[in-house]
Amino acid sequence: MISRRTFVLSGAVGAMAATKTFAETPSPNDPTAMLTAIYSRAAKGKGDGGGAFVIESKAAKVKYLSKSLVELWAKADAHTPKGDVGPVDFDPVTNSQEPDVKSFELRVEKPEAAKATLAVTITGHRTSGKPSDQVVHYDFVREAGQWKIDDIRGSSDGEPWSIRAMLAGSLKN
């Protein structure tokens, strides 16, 4: 049961402790709370719901993503020919086409006052592929007192990808 699992943080963002349990209620205004909520939702049931809800609508993007990332995404969507799939054609939260989240572990990599980088290691029911493909990195920024995702990065078959780079690259085509 996810509420009893613990995750270990390698650092702290703000006044967070180094280790928290999912049963605790972290401040709604910190990156670990946001990612815990996202991945807890993605892991519900059989863990096949994924995290596409983070990017499924403009309102969702505004809720989770930085202003500059929302603007870049809007430009990329506007640049995409009608009827074509946009530059992000997978679920970046689960780094997959077919989400599979059994459990997850959060790790703070770079805590700073206005920026932070966190990594999420995903364990699936049917985990396969390279171990590096199971880790998704999040770059956060503080905007108007709120933490927002400024980039999502990972790898596919060991090849690195970045949402920000994909969106920017789509504007060059």
Each residue's pLDDT tens digit, 106-117: 999 988 889 999
Q: Distance (Å, rounded) from C-alpha 67 to C-alpha 152?
A: 14
pLDDT tens, residue by residue, 148-172 = 999 999 999 889 999 999 999 999 8
The fold for domain 2-172 equals: Nuclear Transport Factor 2; Chain: A, (3.10.450)
Q: Distance (Å, rounded) from C-alpha 147 to C-alpha 127?
A: 30
pTM more than 0.85:
no
DSSP 8-state secondary structure symbol assigned to residue 114: S
Q: Distance (Å, rounded) from C-alpha 105 to C-alpha 119?
A: 8
Residue 44: which residues within 8 A CB-CB, separation 6 or more? none
Instruction: Give the residue extent of every domain in the chain.
Output: 2-172
Residue 173: which residues within 8 A CB-CB, separation 6 or more? none
- What residue type is assigned to position 4 of the chain? R
pLDDT tens, residue by residue, 121-150 = 999 887 667 888 999 999 999 999 999 999
**Average of per-residue pLDDT values in the chain:** 82
Altogether, the residues listed in the chain come to a count of 173
